[in-house]
Structure 1
Amino acid sequence: MTRGSGSDRGSDSRRGFLAGVATAGAAAVAGCSALPFTGDEERREQPVSLPSDAVGSIEWPASPFPATVPASLADAHETRARGMLADVPADPDVPNAAVATAIGDDREQAMRRVDAEIADEWPVDALSAWRRRREDAAEVRGAYRAATGTDDGADLAAQRRAVRDDRGALASGIEYRGESAVEAVLAYEPVESLLAECARNVRPRVTYPADPVAEPFRAGEAVARVERSRAAVADAAGLREAYLDGRDGAAPRWASLVAAADGLRGSVSRTRSTVRERTGGEEPLGDEDLSGTVAQELVAVAELGIGSTVEDVERAIDAGDHATAAVEAGTALAESEAYRTAINEIRDGEHRDVPTEASVRSTAERARATVSEVVDADDPLATRLVRPGLEIVGYVDDRIDEGYGSARRSQAELAYADLYASAVPAAAAFVRERLE
């Protein structure tokens, strides 16, 4: 919908990793330079038809957030979004016919999104979906008001200052109060994510135009970013309040989280270096020709997982997001172990066959079973850490259902989800020991 410069639509989930998985090619993997590619020629997998039920859906577990997310938070977003769209007529009376048509189309699209069902993941994800819908509605309304001669520049500047003040007050008051350090991590990680989302969107990266009539869509985008930041800080305050409500035994866990995050940073860095060293550095499989096999894609997926492990933890600590750093560290440790296991299994001759429908089905069954075992252990921290496995299985299932999932890539991603989930319990236990 956005015209002009792009709009930041950050997410709590690791969808960046999934997007990388979707486009990962084996030619980009260290050690694959010996594959038989010449010039611009690229070996492409022949289309393989997989039935829509080849993977099967996976049920999301109860949210690891240690409190009930108030329905009022989502209700507020919906009310606000519908109210803003109601301010825009279906057939906008705008002098510029092309602008009028575009605003009308955007309004219709935003209405469809508001009316659409939200995926059954976790309540914090539902809030994220509603913030995006609210942002879309604000963009339409902002563009309409600009196109019809209303200059919202001064009001928007005042709103931006107010949001910054609200965010600063909330961030400065976080002491990681909780009944345990582990519970504090699970409670404050989404709060930190929301405060980061607010900070990204409240920056005037897209400025309100001096002549809004001439640039209505830029005006709409500027309005939308501030609206998104308002929504994010409101959700952050709401989640924090929901968690602390009635918890008389909650005590500040700041010192525990800061110390644990710093120690985990070192553990992640050492683990990554050790795994790289023991698996052969940047070229773990040397000159082996894995073309056409699941192993080729599995190496690419595993490389994506381990590639940014240290940076993710460092980024969180540098931002002062110590709960996020603990979660990222646990994820990074599981990713490193998944990578190590993947390389060793390939060296032992596994994952080298050309995939079939039967092999995709069996790999999917193993991945779902391994993820379910983690969830069934009733460990909220492990449940939070296993999220990438849940997302990968669901992502592959959706892609196949939509008719464009290749057997080789799908099986590789599912194999990685299995390996990653297998590593989660130990990673969760390690993080917990550092927190307690």
Structure 2
Amino acid sequence: MTDSSSPRRRFLAGIASAGAAATAGCSGLPFGDGQEPRADPVSLPSDAIGPTDRPASPFPATVPGALADAHETRTRGLLDAVPTEPSLPNEAVATEIGADRERALGRARADIPDRWSIDILAAWRRRRGDAATVRGAYRAATGVDDGSDLVARRREIRDDSAALAGDLEYRAGSVEEAVVAYEPVESLLAECARHVRPRVRYPDDPISDPFRAGEAVGGVERGRATAADAAGLRSAFLAEGDSASPQWGTLIAAAEELRGSVSRTHSAVRERVGGAGDDSSSGGDLSGTVAQELLTASERRVESAVEEVEEAADAGEPATATVEAGVALAAIDALRAANAEIGEGRYREAPTESSVRSAAERARSGVDTAVDGADPLATRLVRPAFETLELLDDRVEEGYAPPRQVTAELAFVALYASAVPRATAFVRERLD
């Protein structure tokens, strides 16, 4: 670590200054493209997609239940410190704080969907942040100025995060195990950096702007919770690992190689595949078709995935960069396949309830095939696919799912899932 511009040094410096470039840690496939869709000839029943069975979590250790318990205890303690009916000089503020408390309490009491333990922790961090926001607003409204304390807490969280980042070493039984073990830790450290960065400034006169004060307090509380989860996951993994040794050198080399592979593959495919509006590559006018939606969705996902690789690599997050490289390669392969199938005349028919159900079944089957054998690396790479299925199921059930977009999303999931085994093998070869 002699070169001050090395990715690891940039990563440590970024954590210390709360300015590390952030990645989501989970490269999801967003629904829709932000544009108003044309009217569809068919509406979908709420069960058109159906539930998706998640594979086992790829994290190679048991996530301690104590982490979620700590969040729940802290959440309830924060809300208990706020009266059910606050007595404040400003009645409007008192009413809003009381309503915010009830909403936060309702979320704290609600069941969390059956997800991976890491995702359950994320849900509790959001609840904890909401509770701290309410308490911070209440304290500000009562004349308590938490500004100085907030500065000290930010500094403490940054110092703790920097110490953890500097001590990672990526100890594991293999480079591949290091990827699936430390990718969530890196993501949590990057998330922590975002929360403790003073995006919302604590007001000089908190009693005049209690809700901004509460928002600032809530952000720091989530930073504190996120740092605790990062440390907890790392400790849990090391406690269960056998024959662990530092994997940093090999991992950073593999991540850089994969970054180059993604860049070259992306450039080559972009030259061969025209845009969503390029009739020459897609075989005619695609306006208003599933094919047009599929190309748009595929191109958007590729661009997003490639950007995630670059951001993770620049931030000195080799495990995240490795995972995102696999996601990007699978997405590029899916775009290439989508373009070829559209060129052959597919995806031109208007969707029906039956065709949507069939597309959902193909997508689920593709996900199941991709993770056959409980391969942790493949499971992590296929995560964007089953998260899209979960999102689509929610959107259809809520009635906010245009059938053409749904069909295109499902088609992309199937193509992406079919590309995951190849992407997994490619990534694994670079890690060996």
Q: How does 1:124-163 map to 2 (within 5 A)?
A: 124-163=118-157
What's the CA shift for 1:14?
Answer: 3.1
| Aligned residue number for residue 32 of structure 1 | none
Shift of 1:78: 0.4
Question: Shift in Å at residue 108 of structure 1?
Answer: 0.6
Counterpart selection for 1:177 from 135, 148, 171: 171
Q: Which amino acid aligns with 1:400?
A: V
RMSD: 1.7
* Residue in 2 that maps onto 1:23: 33
For residues 200 and 363 of structure 1, the distance between their equivalents in structure 2, rounded to whole angstroms, comes to 38
- Amino acid of the residue matched to residue 184 of structure 1? A
Question: In the alignment, which residue of structure 1 is the partner of 2:359?
Answer: 363
CA distance in 2, matches of 1:11, 1:132: 15
Q: Which amino acid aligns with 1:140?
A: V
Unaligned runs of 5+ in 2: 1-21
Equivalences for residues 169-208 of structure 1 within 5 A = 169-208=163-202
Pairs within 5 Å for 1:299-318: 299-318=295-314
- Structure 1 residue 211: Cα displacement: 1.1
Partner of 2:26 in structure 1? Answer: 13
**1:268 is matched with which residue: 258, 262, 285?**
262
Alignment of 1:50 with 2:79, yes or no, is no
Return the TM-score normalized by structure 2. 0.92
Aligned equivalents of 2:353 and 2:164: distance in 1? Answer: 52
Q: Is structure 2 residue 71 aligned with structure 1 residue 74?
A: no
Task: Please say if residues 88 and 94 of structure 2, whose CA atoms lie closer than 8 Å, have aligned partners that are also in contact.
Answer: yes
Change (3 A) 1:76 1:10: farther
Distance 1:43 1:172 in 2: 48
8 Å contact kept, 1:146–1:212 = yes
Structure 1 unaligned spans of 5+: 1-8, 26-41
* CA contact 1:24–1:301 (8 Å) conserved in 2: no
Residue matched to 1:103: 97
Query: What CA distance in whole angstroms lies between the structure 2 residues aligned with 1:120 and 1:158?
Result: 37
Q: TM-score with structure 1 length normalisation? A: 0.91
Asked whether the equivalents of residues 265 and 329 of structure 1 are also in contact (C-alpha less than 8 Å), the reply is yes
Which stretch of structure 1 is more off in the superposition, 308-317 or 185-194? 308-317
Q: Which amino acid aligns with 2:33?
A: T
From 335, 343, 347, the equivalent of 2:343 is: 347
Q: State how far apart, in whole Å, the 2-side matches of 1:24 and 1:146 are.
A: 37
The equivalent of 1:401 in structure 2 is: 397
Moved over 6 A (4+): none
Match of 1:219 in 2: 213
Rounded to whole Å, the distance in 2 between the matches of 1:284 and 1:140 is: 51
Q: Distance in 2 between matches of 1:354 and 1:218?
A: 48
Distance 1:276 1:284 in 2: 12
Find the aligned partners of 2:193 and 2:379 in 1 and give their Cα distance. Answer: 28
Which of 81, 84, 107 is matched with 2:78 structurally? 84
Query: How far, CA to CA, are the matches of 2:131 and 2:54 in structure 1?
Result: 29
Describe how 1:317-328 pairs up with structure 2 within 5 A: 317-328=313-324
Distance 1:281 1:53 in 2: 33
Matched, 1:168 2:165: no
How far apart, CA to CA, are the structure 2 residues paired with 1:253 and 1:143? 45
